[in-house]
Structure 1
Amino acid sequence: MKYTFLFLATLTLPAMALDVQITPDIESVKVMHNAKEVVIQRHQDPNNTINPEFAKTSRACPPFCIKPMIFAPGIESIAELEMLDYLKKVSDGDNSILVIDSRTPDWVIKGSIPGAVSIPWDVLSGAKSSPPIVKKLLEELLGVKISEQGKDFEAAKTLVLFCNGPWCDQSASNIRALLKLDYPPEKLKWYRGGMQAWESFGLTTVTDIPMPWLGF
C-alpha cells in the first residue's frame, strides 16, 4: 500500500503597510509602558475625529490662556516626533530621561502618553505639595542629590513635561516650580502641544499611567 503525504507550508506574508503613518519613514514606535510593550501609531480610520475632551476652542482666559512657544530661556519646546524619540530612548533603557504627565489624576485616567509617569502639578507646587514630598520627588524620581551643601544636579534626569495643550497651565506650573528649585533649564523639555496635539494626530493613548508620588 502506498501512502501519499501532503506537507502544508506555512507562508509568512509581509505585514501590510499602515495607511496612516507617523512619517513616510515611521509607521509606528514601540515603547515600554508598565513593563509591557505598547505600539504607538496613528488611528487608521480616516474618518476618526479628535477626542471631544479636546474639541473646545474657547476656554476662558484666564486661566486657560495660550502659552508662548518658548516658555523660558534654555528650555527647549518639542513636538510629537521629538517626544517619540525621547519615549524610545527611555524604552531602550536610557534612565537619564523621564517623561512626565503634569496633569491631575482626573485628567490622566482619561488617557495619556505611553511611557509617561504622573507627577501632578499640585503635588510639586500646589495644595498637595510639602517640603518632604518635594525632597522625595527630587531625590527618588528625578535623580537630584541633596545635602547640607545644597542640590547637586549632575545626575539629574532630563525631564520631558506635558499637560493638556498650549492653553493648559499644569506643565507650566511644574516647570516654574522646578526652576525655582534651581533645576537646570537645559534639562527641561516642554511638549507644548500636549494631549490636544497628541490626540489630534490620532496617536495611541493609555490609561494605566504609573503614579509613584502616591507612596510619598
Structure 2
Amino acid sequence: MPDLLKITEDETKLVIKTADGPIEIVRQKNEMQLITGVLQPIIPVTGVKPVGELEVLAALADPEFLVVDMREPEWRLKATIPGSISIPFSEVTHRLDELGCSRDPRGWVCSSARKVVAFCNGPACPQSPTAFHTMVRDGFPPERIYYYRGGMQDWLVLGLTTTAIPARQENHE
C-alpha cells in the first residue's frame, strides 16, 4: 500500500457508510504535496475568516491589507506570493508592531491592527494556524485575520505567479 499520511493527529483513515457499503478514505503521499502534516480546519480560531485566491489577489491591491507569508524563511527562498511580506509564525508574537499593534506596559494594544491575509504551505501546514492562536492570545483581533488555507500548495497547483526572495533581501522586509 502507498505511504499513508495522517488526516488528523489521530487518524490515517476514515470509514464512511455509503449505499454500496463502507468506503475507507485515506490520504496518500503524492508529488503535489509540499508537506505531509495533518489537515488544518478552515477556521482555526473563532473569528478568523477563510479566503481563497481571488480574495488574496484583491488584498494584494488593497492598502488596508497586508499579505503575510508565515512560513519559515527557507521556504520563502524557493517561492512566495508576490507582494507578500515575511513574518514567520515563530516570530509573530514579537513582531505584532509590523501588523499595526503597539506596546504598552501591559502588552500589545491592537486597536489599530491591519487586516492580515496569512498563508503557509497549504491545507496540511500548521504554521499559520499556530500563529493565529498566538496573535489572538496576545490581543490581535481575530476578525482582522484572513486565512488563505490553500497557501503555497494551492497557489502553485493553480499556476499563479510566484517570486523567490534572495536571502539578502529577506532581512530588509
Are residues 204 and 150 of structure 1, via their aligned partners in 2, closer, same or farther at CA, if it must alter by over 3 Å? same
- Secondary structure at the counterpart of residue 73 of structure 1: coil
**TM-superposed deviation, 1:149:** 5.2
Aligned to 1:55: 32
Are residues 111 and 145 of structure 1, via their aligned partners in 2, closer, same or farther at CA, if it must alter by over 3 Å? same
**Larger strand percent:** 2
Aligned to 2:66: 98
**TM-superposed deviation, 1:54:** 6.0
Aligned to 1:178: 135
- Secondary structure at the counterpart of residue 70 of structure 1: coil
Q: Which one has a bigger Cα radius of gyration?
A: 1
Provide TM-score, normalisation by structure 1: 0.60
Partners of 1:57 and 1:83 lie apart in 2 by 20
Partners of 1:104 and 1:202 lie apart in 2 by 22
**TM-superposed deviation, 1:150:** 4.6
Please give the per-residue CA displacement for 1:126-181, whole angstroms capped at 9, x wherever unaligned: xxxxxxxx1xx222x11112223553322111111100001001111211110111
2:52 is equivalent to residue 79 of structure 1: yes
8 Å Cα contact 2:68/2:86 also seen in 1: yes
Q: CA RMSD in A?
A: 2.2
Are residues 102 and 58 of structure 1, via their aligned partners in 2, closer, same or farther at CA, if it must alter by over 3 Å? closer
8 Å Cα contact 1:104/1:120 also seen in 2: yes
2:85 is equivalent to residue 117 of structure 1: yes
8 Å Cα contact 2:45/2:133 also seen in 1: no
Partners of 2:49 and 2:66 lie apart in 1 by 15
**What amino acid is aligned across from residue 124 of structure 1 in structure 2?**
V
Question: Structure 1: which 5+ runs fail to align?
Answer: 1-52, 126-133
Identical aligned pairs, as a percentage?
35
After TM superposition, the structure 1 stretch with the greater mean CA deviation from structure 2, 75-84 or 171-180, is 171-180
Partners of 2:34 and 2:100 lie apart in 1 by 38
Match of 2:124 among 167, 174, 181: 167
Partners of 1:204 and 1:54 lie apart in 2 by 20
Match of 1:88 among 61, 65, 87: 61
Are residues 188 and 54 of structure 1, via their aligned partners in 2, closer, same or farther at CA, if it must alter by over 3 Å? farther
Question: Structure 2: which 5+ runs fail to align?
Answer: 1-29
